[in-house]
Amino acid sequence: MNYQKVAKDVLKHVGGKENIKHVTHCATRLRFTLYEQSKVDNESIKQMKEVIDAVDKGGQYQVVIGNEVEDVYKNLMKEGNLEDNHNNDREDEVDNRNIFIKLLDVIASIFTPIIPVLAGSGMIKALIAIIDTFKLTNSDTAVHRILTILGDAGFYFLPVILAVSAAKKFNVNQYIAIVIGGVLLHPAFIQIVKEGKSSGEGVSFLGMPVGLVDYASTVIPIILAIWFMSFVEKQLNKFIPKAIKIVLVPMFTILIVAIVTLIVLGPIGNYLGIGLSYVFATLNVHVGWLVPTLVGLFMPLLVMTGMHYALISLGINELASKNFDPIAGPGMFVSNLAQAGAAFAIVFRTKNKELKTLASSTSFTAIFGITEPVLYGVNLRYKRPLVAAMIGGGVGGLYYGITGVGRFAQIPPGILSIPGYIGPDGFGVLIHAIIGIIIAFVVAFLISLTLGINEETLDVEEQHNASDNNQIADKDTFTGAHVNAPITGEVIPLNEVNDPTFAAELLGKGVAIKPTEGKVYAPADGTITALLDSHHAIGITSDEGVEILIHVGLDTVELNGQFYFPQVENGQEIKQGQLLLEFDSKQINDAGYETTTPVIITNTAEFDDVETIVNQTMTHGEKIINIS
């Protein structure tokens, strides 16, 4: 790699040295804080063969180089005559972070582990929709009813499923979190809600009103609940004596969190939805064309908050009173097709085979009106497709508003709902309905195709093969190797890591470990080839030629070495099991960072197979990766 040329090209494409407010680097990335993001030539950077990826993350522009980032960084400093601020304070960067983007990141990271549930359940629901359309079986048969249960379960129990991943995100007891999710779906509570609604008298707990909300398939209430639980559990652990913690901490956590959720946190989306319903009903009277535009534009966000249920009720009321719904159905229809179009474009932009499969399958289910898999699995996760979907839905909704499209029947808003737009006066509305969804799909597709995603990259294997520093010692004599766990803790798949570059395996295959102690040990015999000033990442080349990156925490380069205590130095030969680094997990977590530690084989492309052992707790020294 020509470090000087790479540095010169990167400097040019980020807008020159005048556009750089702050630049630093971690184990694999150049991290820029820029004055004007619009000056970045993102496509040119991504097309550089030395660049693995480029990521715009919460106000910070990151260029993923890989193991040779430090050499590129030094040349960048020299080429641009920049002040070396590798150890500068991170205050400027923090000020640039967008709270809304942070919120989307939290939601997306909570959904990442459950994407298989959404995708699998969504495909089953799409299968049922096809069966119903072609009347392959009656809805009252056991086959149909069981298939319906199989398709619905993953969505109905979302509060419980999300409780687990939210508990991991907020670092609280997963089993108590499951109980909180179970409270929201308990049959007795559902009955209380039904009785309260039918009587009109409501329900109270110790004089406080309980929200009469159906929490099945909801998202935000359980995330808010587990977020609140992280504060409650922490405070209880501080004040309750150790001898009785095992009983009283769970007891009071369940009591406090469940009650606050039922009275305050859970109903928030419902109350906002009622207000939103009133606003849309009023707009429909005075500026009717605007309503499907707004619904098409904001529907993905309404789904995330659960506020869309109020619109569904409004649409049903319109059908009951006027036999025509111009409010909910049309906007949802174009939004669903726009989401499908945005995700489908990713099939043509990504080189990642798993993402191609996910994007194609979830866009297929979205066409049939099942959007949770595509929303949480692709569009929200990568953000740019979400923007494309919202714009496409808004444009399609505007066309519906101008042409006066509405539905004449209550059918879930997917491609199979088209007959619901055939009115008593003929096919005029139907034709405009079809044109509208085509517009929504195509606009979203083209915008998403143009914007791409942060994970888009050149073929990773070609990138690694192009590097003259990533060759194992002797391919002909290499008979295999293994890597041991450098840290004691829970070993998880890389795709569960809250960082798209690691999760997409752009730097190589491997695992991640959630540490239970703050010590890092040598995973193999070898040599320390990289130990940054920030001490959060260690590069090792084993005696067999395996290049290992141990990245302790996510974005922890920003701590500038605080809470990290290295026990070795660059160039030092090490033995398997030797102590390399100590770190203070509590201090790192209190500073707002995750300690999840990716362990990556950065020269993955040089081997036939890298096999990982995950989803179990390991002690340092136990085998986690086999290489052949």
Structure tokens at 464: 């690694």
Alpha helices in 569-616 (DSSP H): 585-590
- Best CA proximity match to 464, nearest among 52, 45, 54: 52
The backbone torsions φ and ψ at residue 537, rounded to the nearest 5 degrees and listed phi first, read -140, 140
Residue pair 385/448 in contact (Cβ under 8 Å)? The answer is: yes
Helix intervals (H) in 89-173: 91-95, 99-111, 115-133, 142-156, 158-170
Q: Give the number of other CB atoms < 10 A from CB of residue 201.
A: 9
Show contacts of 263-266: CB within 8 Å, 24+ apart: 263/205, 263/208, 263/209, 263/210, 263/211, 265/221, 265/224, 265/225, 265/228, 266/184, 266/211, 266/213, 266/215, 266/221, 266/224, 266/225
Phi, psi of 505, rounded to the nearest 5 degrees:
60, 30
Q: How many CB atoms are closer than 10 A to CB 389? A: 38
Tell me the C-alpha distance between 161 and 113, whole Å. Answer: 10
Sheet arrangement for strand 20-25: 20-25, 29-34, 60-64, 53-57
- CA 291, chain centre distance (Å): 29
DSSP state letter for 599? E
Distance CA 275, CA 264 (A): 16
Annotated active-site residue 554? The verdict is: no
CA atoms within 13 A on the CB side of 244: 7
Q: Collect all residues with Cβ–Cβ distance below 8 Å to 173 and sequence separation of at least 6.
A: 167, 233, 250, 253
Q: Residue 69 corresponds to which amino acid?
A: V
- Active-site entry in 11, 14, 23, 26: 26
Closest CA to 545 of 603, 616, 625: 603
Residues pairing with 611 in the sheet: 626
Question: Which are the contacts of 562, defined by CB distance < 8 A and separation ≥ 6?
Answer: 587, 591
- Please identify every residue annotated as catalytic: 26
